[in-house]
Amino acid sequence: MSRKNGADGEISRVELAFCGLVPRLKRSMGARLKKRPRLALTVGDVAGIGPEVTRSVLGEERLLKTADLMVFGPAAACPEGVEVHAGSWRDCPEGAAQWVDTGDPGEFSLGRASAGCGRAALAALEAAHEAALAGAVDALVTGPVSKTALHLAGEPVEGQTELFQRWCGLERVQMVALAGPLRVGLVTRHLALRDAIEALNGPLVMAHLELLASFLGTLGLGKPRIGLAGLNPHAGEGGRFGHEELDFLNDAVVWARGQGVDVRGPLSPDAVFRDALEGRLDGVLALYHDQAFIPLKLIGGERAVTALAGMPYLRLSPVHGTAFDIAGRGLASHENLLETLLLAADWAGPQAGGATPAAGASEMSAAGR
């Protein structure tokens, strides 16, 4: 991470879509939408840059004028001037910035993963998830956590996405990354490349095509044009460079079209992102992690944002990690976190129904708000 990275009582169409049409959220959030949006923010691993970038965004007037914040994390990470609440988030009053103490991580060293920091990060995530699920906040933005620390704390997951999926009892969610004009859904996430290829199959790709089409529809894109990235060079070139396209990717496209999804492909991976950049596609479905994130980070740098499709509430995250190597050195930029919070406020706020979030998503990496 470099120095540069850095109508009343009704739920809007965008919020309903992100909430998976869960009726209980309409009941719990209806009263909140009469006011400006309230965002939950988790600090992330306190041994990384999470605390310092959180402190920086809490000093940003353009954010504090836009949304109320409920920050979840250890009290020791809270900056001066922000009220700390040692009890439940349920007792937290309305206000521009409130801090919910989720427990002491114990002794730790900056830049080093530990079980204590992993437990503290988990406690913050679970409390923030409960608040979001109850409708106490309008969106959840998560800071970066260390997978090593989570494992040391006894939670053998490969990321926050898997935690939220389990806590919500969902069979499937989709990570969608946004940077400039790129909107990219992922079929597989944190898997070794060999394992990702083994995990791919027709029904899985079909399900993710539907998830991405639904997600993009909530962004005001109507019937989105989706490009399915091939797995092999030149999308296999008729089986010369691999057989996955012939074995199941072509069939997934035919099936999705039969369901009313406007999907093209499978397309050569290099070509599909060019088509998206030049406006011929509204979204891309990538098959594995780096197929998506190499072009995303080239276009959006450290200002790209990820969202989760299929969740019962809106959850966003910056793309940067814990950056253990620069923690506490004053080098971390808070711009990616700020962009993510502003986008969350834009999508979750009462004004969201009047302007399509797709526009904000397209402009966020260039305009700088």
Q: Give 12's pLDDT tier (boundaries 50, 70, 90).
A: very low
Q: What is the pLDDT of residue 350?
A: 52
283-286/305-309 β-pairing: unpaired
Answer whether residue 351 shows pLDDT above 60: no
Q: What is the pLDDT of residue 86?
A: 80
Establish if 2 belongs to a structural domain: no
Beta strand extents in the chain (DSSP E only)? 38-42, 68-73, 83-85, 97-101, 139-142, 174-179, 182-186, 225-229, 262-267, 283-286, 305-309, 315-318
Mean pLDDT of all residues in 266-289:
96
The verdict on whether omega for the bond into residue 266 sits within 30 degrees of 0, i.e. cis, is yes
What CATH number corresponds to the domain at position 160? 3.40.718.10
CA distance to 111, 120, 167, 276, per residue, from 123 (Å): 20, 5, 13, 39
Mean pLDDT of all residues in 210-214:
95
| Structural domain count of the chain | 2
Mean pLDDT of all residues in 40-55:
96
Answer whether residue 22 shows pLDDT above 60: no
User: Which is more confidently placed, 89 or 260?
Assistant: 260
Answer whether residue 33 shows pLDDT above 60: no
166 plus 315 within the same structural domain:
yes
- The contacts of residue 56 (CB under 8 Å, 6+ apart) are 334, 337, 338
Q: What is the pLDDT of residue 362?
A: 36
Structure-token pair, residue 187:
């079929």
Establish if 192 belongs to a structural domain: yes
- The contacts of residue 237 (CB under 8 Å, 6+ apart) are none
Q: What is the pLDDT of residue 13?
A: 32
250 plus 319 within the same structural domain:
no
Residue-number span of the structural domain to which 324 is assigned: 36-170+311-353
185 plus 60 within the same structural domain:
no
